[in-house]
Each structure stands twice: as structure tokens, then as C-alpha cells.
Amino acid sequence: MGPLEGIRILEIAGIGPGPFCGMMLADMGAEILRVDKKNIPGLSGKFDVLGRGRRSVTVDLKKPEGVEAVLRLAERADVLMEGYRPGVMERLGLGPEVCRARNPRLVYARMTGWGQYGPLAHAAGHDMNYIAISGALHAIGRAGERPVPPINLVGDFGGGGLLQAYGIVCALLERQRSGQGQVIDTAMTDGAALLMTMMYGFKAAGMWKDSPESNLLDGAAHFYDTYACKDGRHIAIGSIEPQFYALLLEKTGLKDDPEFRNQMNQRQWPALKAKLQAVFLTRTRDEWTEIMEGTDVTDLARAGGGLDAIEPLRCKHGLLDGKAVPPQVLATRNIALDTKFMA
């Protein structure tokens, strides 16, 4: 049961952002049939977490009867999702015009890196390329060092899969008024730029510098960064608001240090960071977590837990059952999208 119950989605199999989009829609109750190509290697079974919640069928799209089979499925679908380069679906005989001629109510959702048009439309690319050209990659990293790839969260999943899921649901809502489907064109470069909207606004207002680690939210501030602890592990601190900043100083024993009184004096941030770092090196990460847990300094102070275990603190948010869970077990669990719908 879910808000998308009764919605039928035909997913032309792909990798990364497409399956992620489908996973979220399936978690919300959509019925998804994935069209797989023959002899395509990849994760399967319990380890294909992004592919959960689907049935699948293998079709040879190079044969006319395979194309016709997909068109018949599209006639009964609410949504078709595809992630090929521009023009591939058209060459297969499965472009939006053909599919929507069979089913005018069909929402045809396509996702690419660069968009359907423009000089880079047919170029190969990956998350790293999309977030680089959008400016997002440049903004992530330490001063004087090269940008840090934020795995494929920003381009593929945030700017691609998540944005496409939003577009699909919006199109389905609009269809209730018009009775017609439409084409959803998601470009991961555009999506990554969209995620940078607030920073673009800050820069236009003179509140954001181009150099990394020189702004409020990119690690420059002593109250919004990660710190090494005595055991070599790290703690994440996010105490922006004055009341939370006061708690940070209290818990670290620095509330009476006059140098910390002017929180937003950026010229003092490097020196204050050094002082905080020295304090955090006096205790282990777990000791600091025990001191700060349950206060508004931070609800989840730990950083650097890695993928070797899902830590018990995260279970407080309803994702797991209060025990550390290794990834091979996590992959078998149906951890649904953590959005709660209440009557």
C-alpha cells in the first residue's frame, strides 16, 4: 500500500539514477515492470537493492517482435522510464511520439546526463562530469586541494533519479486535469545545478566565495565541520544557530573563552578551529558522542562510520531495529524511502 498504488510503470532497464528513481516509486506503491536486455551483467537477487519492488521481463529490442511487445506494454502503462542517450529510443522505434500515439495518457520520462539537445547531448559522461560543469564539484573540498568526488550522490541520485521521480509524480498529477501524458526530460547536469540554487543566490548577493572551504557551509566555519578525535575517528559538528553554538561551547568546555564570543567573525574561524581541534583530540569519538548525544549540539555527532556497519544511532530515525547491521544483511532488507504518510 502507498500513495502510488495502481500506477503502472514500464522501466527500460538502465544503471544508477534510473533504478534509483524506480526504487523510490516502487517504495511508494507503484507497480513496476522492468524490461531487461539479454546478457547484461550486474547485481542480482538480494544484492540488487536499487532493483527492489519490480517484476522483470527480458526482451530483445533489436528484433521487431521485441519492440512490438514493449509497445503493447506501453499501451497499458501510466509511465515509461528510459535512460539511453538521445535518439536511441527513437532508432529502436520506441520514441515518445510512437509510444504516446499508442497511449496519449502515457508519461514518458527520459533521463540523460546533458539533456536531449545541445553540443554535449550525445557525449558520454558520468556523475563526476555533470557536477563539474554545474559548479557543484568545485564547491566541495578543502582549501588548496583538489575537489572531492561526493560519490555519485549529487549528479546521479540527487540531480537525476530524485528529480525524475518528482517530475513523474508532477506529470501524473497534471494528467488528472488534462487527461494527457507528457514527456519528462531530466538532465543530470541541470539537476546538479538546481541543487546549487541556494549557493548561486548567496554568490549573487556577495555572500559566497568561489574558493572551497571559505564559506559558512563548506567547512570554513569552526562550528560546521568535522574534527579528528583521540582514537583517529571523527565527529561531525553543525551548530549554526546561536543557541546550538552556545551548547557546543558548553559541552567542549570553551564557554568562558572570550575568543569564541563572536561566532560569525570569519577572520577568527581558522584560529578557533585549531582550538576546537585540540579539544576534540582529548577524547575518543564515542566519548564525545556520549557527551553530546541527546542535546541540540547535534543529534548524530558521529562521522566516518563507514559502510562496514549501520550504526545504532541511525536506527533512532526508524530505519532499522537498533542494532548494527552489516551491508550484506542490509541488502536483503526492504528499507523503504523514509517518508511517512499519515491519514
Q: Is 191 left (phi over 0), alpha (psi -120 to 50) or beta?
A: alpha
Length of the chain: 343
More confident residue, 301 or 292: 292
Q: List b or e across 196-232, with b for residues whose CB sees 16 or more CB atoms inside 10 angstroms.
A: beebeebbeeeebeeebbebbebbbbbbbbebebeee
What are the DSSP calls for 263-315, one per residue?
TT-GGGHHHHHHHHHHHHTTS-HHHHHHHHTTSSS-S--EE---SS-B-GGGG
Q: What's the sign of the alpha-carbon dihedral 279, 281, 284, 285?
A: positive
Q: What is the pLDDT of residue 295?
A: 83
Distances (CA, A) of 54 to 34, 35, 82, 233: 7, 10, 15, 39
Q: How far apart are CA 54 and CA 339, in angstroms?
A: 20
Mean pLDDT value across the chain: 88
Lowest average pLDDT, out of 37-41, 53-57, 96-100, goes to 37-41
Q: What is the pLDDT of residue 297?
A: 78
Q: How far apart are CA 132 and CA 30, in angstroms?
A: 33
Helix axes 127-134, 188-195, angle to 10 degrees: 50
Cβ contacts of residue 330 below 8 Å, gap of 6+?
A: 49, 310
- Whether 321 shows a pLDDT value over 70: the answer reads no
pLDDT tens digit sequence for 251-265: 999 999 999 999 999
> What is the percentage of the chain residues whose pLDDT exceeds 70?
85
Q: What is the pLDDT of residue 296?
A: 82
Q: What is the pLDDT of residue 134?
A: 93
- Whether 103 shows a pLDDT value over 70: the answer reads yes
Grid cell digits, residue 283? 577524547
Residue 138 sits at the vertex; the CA angle it makes with 211 and 300, to the nearest 5 degrees, is 90
Sort strands 107-112 and 183-187 into parallel, antiparallel or unpaired.
parallel
More confident residue, 81 or 295: 81
Q: What is the pTM of this model?
A: 0.86
pLDDT tens digit sequence for 302-318: 555 554 444 544 444 44
Output the CATH code of domain 224-305. 3.30.1540.10
- Which residues are marked as active site? 126, 156
CB 181 within 8 A of CB 175: yes
Band of residue 169 on the pLDDT scale cut at 50, 70, 90: very high
Q: Does domain 8-195 have CATH number 3.40.50.880?
A: no
The domain locations on the chain are 8-195, 224-305
Q: What is the pLDDT of residue 19?
A: 95
Q: What is the pLDDT of residue 161?
A: 97
Q: What is the pLDDT of residue 40?
A: 61
